[in-house]
Amino acid sequence: MATIFTLSVFGAQLVRIQGLDAHAVAAEAESKRVTAQIIPAMRGQILSADGTVLASSVVREVVVADQTAVCTYGTGKNTCDPATSPAAVQAAAQRLAPLLGTPVSELVTQLTGESRYRILSKNVTPLRWNTIAELGIPGIARDRRETRSERTYPQGTTTAALVGYVIDNGKPGGGVELMVDEQLQGTPGKQTFEQGQNGTAIPAGESSITPAVDGRDVTLTINSSLQWYAQNSLAQRIKETKAESGTIVIMNAKTGDLLSVASYPTFDPNTDIGKQGAELDNKAFSDVFEPGSTAKIMTIAAALEEGTVTPSTPVVIPNRLPRHDARFKDSHEHPTQYRTVAGTLAESSNIGTILVSETLKSSTLERYFRSFGLGTRSGLGYPGESAGILSESSTWSGTQRATVAFGQGVSVTAIQDASVFQTIANGGVRVAPRLIDSVTEADGTVREMPAATSSRVVSEKTANDVSRMLEGVVSDEGTAEEAMVAGYRVAGKTGTADFYDERVGKYRGFTASFIGYAPADDPEIVVAVIVQKPVYPYFGGYVAGPVFKDVTTYALQELKIPPTGRKPPKVTLAVDPEKALKDPTVLRDGVEHPRR
């Protein structure tokens, strides 16, 4: 009876499985055979304005081995045989070694054993995998579940600090990669298929696929040739002057497009990510510094716009100017000088600039500085960008009221400093910096990014007056003869400022700079060269002027910008002492002027 009962139970269960629950059992079995593979979406490319690839993604396959199958290679057998397996593994290793970049001895170890799954490489290109597959070595396969994309940067260190990088998990770590990540990242797809016991797909099995959608390509305003030239010129000068760091910014004077943003020290995004001490930021956006004399053009422009001075207003410049608890001086000792406002700017006099600033209220000066873009980010949305430091004029101390006028006691980024000169070069209209030119959709549709926003800061007349003064700087009578470009009219300004080192909490070293534009009478490009903490000599004209000349000359040729052929107007820089003292508009210590 017990036997009959047992057989009855088994029979009933068999009827249930084959009849009533057949579909459920089949579905369960199928689910155990079905596997899913994520199809990675390729991250969009980053391109320069001239089509050079700055960042792209490539597919990488994971190659694995079934050790229990490799041992049959070339033996004609289906299972491992101790008599033939060593030679089979040795032969397989010799064929695979040059394709995987792994020594034969190391591969022999990886291919020997009883593991059904041993990773040989995670960095195999699809083309290389095809070559491996053609060898027909049993047990060598690619793990489709682990197929991934890898970011590559063909330009290496040249654009690294601007373009940025991605980290191991494919997430952006900085730069343009992070700035426009929403555009660059795609949507992964999914593939499901039935697999046999050996892990290979069953040809006639159930399968489905949801294609991946690749990211969009992003084209920058950057000119790859200018970026390369600027980056190398900057690196060379920093090494020559034993400086700590530096930046070069090249802008289109009319559109605000950034044509080059070089930063040094830099890094190689293909090899340096994760290394200790790697400099991964772009200092043109992140580092702030006191601009020094390059800021004087804002003070002069404000006074001209408010009508408190003209380019020919006389200025009496003593060797020392006492203000509050300080005695201000120029960069060099000199007897009392008699200059015009134009001469004050051309010779970069701190004292003369203070006297010009004293024709304005502090709140007026602050308003103009902010209109030029100081104290706020550019609006680009670049990761890590600083707003600089411009405190409210109501908090300025007595000495700060004087130092702000000639570029100390206020901090800027290189992008902001370049933008000030772009405003003057563009007839008084400030155009916000622009870096993204267009986005290309997956179907090839190109979507142009809108033009940068603009605002008038000073009148065209004021901008033209300042521009003529800046031509006086780049002349035999100015402070930057080194920046002259043969055949072209150039306007610009030197800057030499004390460098505040936050690491030690005090001023240590100098910021040397030269910023200008060309052609001066029809400006097309603005070039800003900033060098931090060069070893003596440290003056802006000497350190940064030659780099400006070199880079500007190359840029004018690369962009095919011809000279205008017009001669510059004569600018009066000095005045007769007797006439100056009799002039009722003269600026001198002890003479009060109505402030506006």
Integer Cα distance of 312 and 306 in angstroms: 15
Lowest mean pLDDT among 17-31, 33-47, 72-86: 17-31
Write the CA distances from 99 to 96, 287, 340, 440, integer angstroms: 5, 45, 74, 35
Contact in structure between 459 and 491 (CB atoms under 8 Å): no
More confident residue, 541 or 297: 297
pLDDT in tens, 95-152: 999 999 999 999 999 999 999 999 999 889 888 999 999 999 999 998 877 777 789 9
Cβ count near 98 (within 10 Å): 10
Phi, psi of 35 (to 5 degrees): -125, 155
- Amino acid identity of 14? L
Q: Where are the domains of the chain?
A: 59-148, 224-270+285-582
| Distance between first and last Cα of the chain | 117
As assigned by CATH, the class of the 59-148 domain is alpha beta
Cβ count near 534 (within 10 Å): 25
Integer Cα distance of 581 and 575 in angstroms: 10
- State yes or no: pLDDT of 14 exceeds 90: no
- State yes or no: pLDDT of 278 exceeds 60: yes
- State yes or no: pLDDT of 21 exceeds 90: no
pLDDT in tens, 45-67: 999 999 999 999 988 889 999 99
Q: Which residues pair with 65 in a beta bridge?
A: 118, 140
Q: What is the pLDDT of residue 42?
A: 85
* Summary mean pLDDT of the chain: 90
Contact in structure between 534 and 418 (CB atoms under 8 Å): no
- State yes or no: pLDDT of 168 exceeds 70: yes
Q: What is the pLDDT of residue 477?
A: 67
Write the CA distances from 535 to 81, 482, 494, 508, 539, integer angstroms: 72, 19, 17, 11, 10
Write the CA distances from 143 to 119, 212, 337, 516, integer angstroms: 9, 18, 80, 57
More confident residue, 247 or 505: 247
Q: Which residues pair with 219 in a beta bridge?
A: 47, 438
Nearest Cα to Cα of residue 238 among 272, 275, 263: 263
Which residues touch 574 (CB under 8 Å, ≥6 apart)? 337, 338, 339, 340, 343
- Is 224-270+285-582 a domain of CATH 3.50.30.30? no
- State yes or no: pLDDT of 232 exceeds 90: yes
